[in-house]
Chains A and B, each alone.
Chain A
Amino acid sequence: EVQLVQSGAEVKKPGESLKISCKGSGYSFTSYWIGWVRQMPGKGLEWMGIIYPGDSDTRYSPSFQGQVTISADKSISTAYLQWSSLKASDTAMYYCARVVPAAEADYWGQGTLVTVSS
């Protein structure tokens, strides 16, 4: 069974750094892209970027380029989304998903809620 399990909810202060994770199982982690999606409170879905764990090829949506870093450790089948300096506007639910570039996201993680507040 394909599963993506994300790390737990986080509460951070503005300016702090953060790295959240997404662990894949039940399939060949290095053979599929992993994408990250943001959902701000009460709002729609936004693609942030994707990574191919096999060779760490990474592509960012223009709105998120330079704002976050996507990485992966294929030895432990885990993808990451990180911020170096959080802002209150980063408060959102973040989902990872197994994706085919320019095509479907067929399996999703359960989401990680990030709250940034002073």
Chain B
Amino acid sequence: SYELTQPPSVSVSPGQTARITCSADALPKQYAYWYQQKPGQAPVLVIYKDSERPSGIPERFSGSSSGTTVTLTISGVQAEDEADYYCQSADSSGTYPVVFGGGTKLTVL
């Protein structure tokens, strides 16, 4: 089955830049999507189509793609950004089912 690989954890100090990666063979051909999930809450879409930001998402959240890796970047991290982050994409056929990555716990020190 298709898999997306994320680091289990990333730690940064407030005000620094956090980068969370997601890797898979089909990412050059398929868009990636990123979700933020805070404890006890439903996920929230923060990036779609690799680098687009939904309305209401702060500008410090950005996405990029290079080869088989996509990256969620949070510039000027704030304490409220501490959460789990999940990438999502599809395999090379582009059809359902899509899959989530294993998730990355972002800790703000």
Contacts and interface: CB of A to CB of B under 8 A. Distances in A.
A71 to B, nearest CB: 17
B31 interface: yes
A11 interface: no
A47 B48 contact: no
Q: Is the interface of B mostly helix, strand, loop or mixed?
A: loop
Contact of A102 (B35, B44, B54, B94): B94
Interface residues of A, number: 23
A53 interface: no
B94 A110 contact: no
Contact of B43 (A101, A103, A108): A108
Interface of B: 1, 30-31, 33, 35, 37, 42-45, 48-49, 54, 84, 86, 88, 90, 94-103
Interface of A: 37, 44-47, 49-50, 59-62, 95, 97, 101-106, 108-111
